[in-house]
């Protein structure tokens, strides 16, 4: 059917229409001065604007896709095959190609489709007045949609069921297939064995875990692993998996022989008969430290116990005497910087070997006994003027070991994230709704409608809307309304998952975008 008896533009007219119209030139004035020059500029401005308003929309009738508005379903059904726009817009339903009302209206304005209703072509005005009647797609929504489309973004309606839950995100499930079978050719090999491993570790008995830890390789490069083993199960979790948003215990640093680990280990020793599951395989009273330092060199190292060595590794005894004569031949010369640093450190750092009592220990067992003994002996005198009052200090000196820890302990306000407690706020019918998923323009070539992936941002349209009188609430115009409450923000941010949220404020044709950014105050810690 011929598009409504339109007059076909001649080639010359089409060429002219394609050229950009002139925009008002020159600087703007500040005040009217009644001059002829101003009057002339004004007249020319008006003519240009008038030409703009009247500009015809040239169409290529052969390219027009025909579509029909179906009010009972609220969608537009294509009657002729879709064009290039099908790559990013539209959907299939019962074998037919369909468009959402906003998509159809946009394409109509662009001149790519022709809309019919009851076999009569709709004008743009009629389309505006007919298609934008849904609550989900008002004029404001359409204006935001159109604005983003003009910028080149791909805009789809938001569907809450497609947002993965935090648990699913933690399991990295979004990279796997959700419902469509097409996706699992992209399975990431690294994640599923990890998943398996994690479960393996959590539910195993600890002695077995000790056995497997060596299989995992030297994550920490530990030279003396036995202390870390019972505790290392948990830190390895955070290392191996993608535990997003969950607070995991900090992995122990092997380099730092924390007193904490020793005392707990010792407790483990004493309790081993009672618990039964923590039986250590090491007998500390028989394990000696060979001291190969220069003052009392132990040069003879006996052959290690074969039971403790892996299968194809041979141990042998060593006499290091020959080597001892070849090392430490020169006096160590420190640079000035190094000397200064040593001086500074000597004020608060001291070598554990400088302690005579420590040197008297010949094995780990004795050393631990010494530490325990010292701990029990230490009587910390609490200053009465501080501790015997109604108001006492927040911390004891031994509770913190660094300025950062100190700040952490005494801070009244803990840093919070917008999503804290957000999961409990759901199920609120008054909550703000997310309207669109927005995908980046440069991803158009790789974009797949059936699997769009994670959007660039999600859009929440706010506008003044006056519902029908029966519907109730007349919301105040957008610039007058308050910034959404924290509760509302938490709800809607949670709804958005891990995709940033942007608010589009529509004020009678003017659109303003804003978003809230997470910000963390820097902590001033001089370490």
Partner 1 sequence: MAAGPEGVPGVCGSEEGSETPGTPPGSPAELPRVRRQRGRFLLWSPRAARALRERQRVWGALVGTPQRRGRAGAAGPRLPLQLRPEEARALRESGGATVEAVDEAEAEPEETPAEPSPPSERRFRVFRELWGRGLHLTPGGKFGGDFLVYPGPPSQFHAGAVALCPCSSAPQPLGALLAAARLGTSVRKALLLCRAPPGGALACTALTWRADLT
At 86, list the tokens: 């099908």
- 3-state secondary structure at position 110: helix
The residue range among 48-56, 285-293, 380-388, 514-522 that interacts with partner 1, by the rule CB under 8 A, is 48-56
The residue range among 199-207, 315-323, 463-471, 493-501 that interacts with partner 1, by the rule CB under 8 A, is 463-471
For residue 430, the minimal CB distance to partner 1 (Å) is: 20
Angle at 253 between CA 252 and CA 259, to 5 degrees: 75
Q: At what angle do helices 191-203 and 206-213 cross, to 10 degrees?
A: 140
Q: Is 54 exposed, middle or buried (0-12, 13-18, 19+ CB in 10 A)?
A: exposed
Per the CB < 8 A criterion, the answer to whether 453 and 180 are in contact is: no
Site map (CB under 8 A) of partner 1, residues 141-160, x = contact: --x--x--xx-x--------
Binders of partner 1: how many residues, by CB under 8 A?
Answer: 69
Nearer to partner 1, 377 or 482 (CB): 482
Per the CB < 8 A criterion, the answer to whether 474 and 467 are in contact is: yes
Q: At what angle do helices 229-240 and 191-203 cross, to 10 degrees?
A: 150
For residue 446, the minimal CB distance to partner 1 (Å) is: 20
Q: Where are the alpha helices (DSSP H) in 55-97?
A: none
Nearer to partner 1, 62 or 221 (CB): 62
Nearer to partner 1, 61 or 403 (CB): 61
Nearer to partner 1, 251 or 484 (CB): 484
Q: Report the alpha-carbon distance of residue 39 to residue 32 in Å, rounded.
A: 9
Which of the residues 88 through 117 are near partner 1 (CB under 8 A)? 106, 108-111, 114
Among the listed residues 225, 477, 484, 500, the single contact to partner 1 using CB under 8 A: 477
- 3-state secondary structure at position 279: coil
Q: CA-CA distances (angstroms) from residue 481 to 122, 508, 510?
A: 36, 14, 16
Which of the residues 7 through 26 are near partner 1 (CB under 8 A)? 7, 9, 18, 20-21, 23-24
Residues in CB range of 261: below 8 A, 6 or more apart? 227, 228, 231, 252
Beta-carbon-side half-sphere exposure of residue 382 (alpha carbons within 13 Å): 10
- 183 belongs to the binding site for partner 1 (CB under 8 A): no
Cα 176 to chain center, whole Å? 18
- 280 belongs to the binding site for partner 1 (CB under 8 A): no
Total residue length of the chain: 527
For residue 14, the minimal CB distance to partner 1 (Å) is: 11
The residue range among 123-131, 265-273, 308-316, 490-498 that interacts with partner 1, by the rule CB under 8 A, is 123-131
Nearer to partner 1, 160 or 471 (CB): 471
Interaction site with partner 1 (CB under 8 A) = 3-7, 9, 18, 20-21, 23-24, 28-32, 38, 41-42, 45-47, 49-59, 106, 108-111, 114, 120-121, 123-125, 128-129, 138-139, 143, 146, 149-150, 152, 464-469, 474, 476-477, 479-480, 507-510, 512
């Amino acid at each position: 059917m011929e598009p409504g008896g339109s007059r076909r533009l001649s080639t010359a007219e089409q060429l002219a229409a394609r050229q950009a119209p002139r925009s008002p030139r020159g600087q703007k004035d500040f005040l009217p001065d009644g001059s002829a020059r101003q009057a002339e500029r004004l007249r020319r401005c008006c003519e240009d604007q008038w030409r703009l308003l009247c500009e015809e929309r040239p169409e290529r009738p052969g390219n027009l896709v025909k579509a029909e508005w179906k009010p009972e379903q609220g969608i537009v059904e294509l009657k002729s095959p879709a064009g290039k726009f099908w790559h990013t817009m539209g959907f299939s339903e019962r074998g037919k190609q369909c468009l959402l009302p906003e998509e159809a209206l946009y394409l109509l304005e662009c001149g790519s489709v022709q809309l019919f209703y009851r076999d009569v072509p709709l004008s743009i005005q009629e389309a505006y007045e007919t298609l934008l009647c849904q609550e989900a797609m008002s004029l404001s929504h359409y204006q935001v949609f159109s604005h983003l489309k003009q910028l080149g973004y791909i805009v789809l309606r938001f569907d809450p069921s497609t947002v993965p839950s935090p648990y699913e995100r933690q399991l990295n499930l979004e990279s796997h297939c959700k419902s469509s079978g097409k996706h699992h050719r992209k399975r990431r090999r690294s994640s599923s064995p990890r998943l398996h491993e994690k479960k393996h570790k959590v539910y195993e008995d600890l002695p077995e875990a000790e056995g497997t830890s060596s299989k995992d390789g030297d994550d920490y490069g530990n030279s003396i692993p036995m202390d870390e083993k019972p505790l290392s199960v948990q830190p390895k979790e955070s290392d191996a998996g993608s535990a997003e948003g969950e607070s995991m215990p900090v992995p122990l640093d092997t380099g730092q022989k924390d007193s904490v680990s020793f005392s707990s280990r010792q407790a483990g020793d004493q309790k081993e008969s009672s618990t039964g599951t923590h039986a250590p395989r090491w007998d500390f009273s028989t394990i000696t430290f060979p001291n190969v330092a220069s003052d009392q060199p132990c040069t003879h190292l006996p052959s290690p116990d074969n039971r403790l060595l892996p299968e194809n590794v041979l141990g042998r005894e060593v006499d290091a005497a020959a080597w001892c004569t070849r090392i430490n031949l020169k006096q160590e010369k420190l640079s000035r910087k190094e000397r200064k640093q040593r001086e500074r450190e000597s004020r608060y750092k001291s070598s554990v070997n400088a302690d005579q009592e420590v040197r008297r220990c010949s094995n780990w067992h004795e050393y631990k006994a010494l530490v325990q003994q010292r701990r029990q002996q230490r009587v910390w005198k609490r200053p009465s003027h501080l501790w015997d009052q109604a108001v006492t200090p927040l911390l004891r000196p031994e509770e913190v070991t660094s300025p950062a820890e100190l700040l952490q302990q005494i801070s009244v306000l803990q840093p919070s994230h917008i999503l804290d407690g957000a999961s409990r706020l759901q199920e609120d019918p008054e909550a703000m709704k997310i309207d669109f998923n927005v995908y980046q323009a440069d991803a158009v070539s790789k974009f797949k409608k059936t699997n769009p992936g994670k959007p660039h941002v999600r859009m929440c349209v706010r506008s003044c809307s006056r519902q029908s009188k029966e519907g109730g609430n007349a919301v105040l115009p957008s610039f007058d309304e308050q910034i959404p409450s924290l509760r509302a923000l938490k709800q809607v941010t949670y709804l958005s998952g891990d995709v940033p949220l942007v608010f589009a404020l529509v004020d009678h044709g003017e659109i303003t975008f804003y978003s809230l950014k997470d910000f963390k105050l820097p902590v001033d810690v001089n370490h």
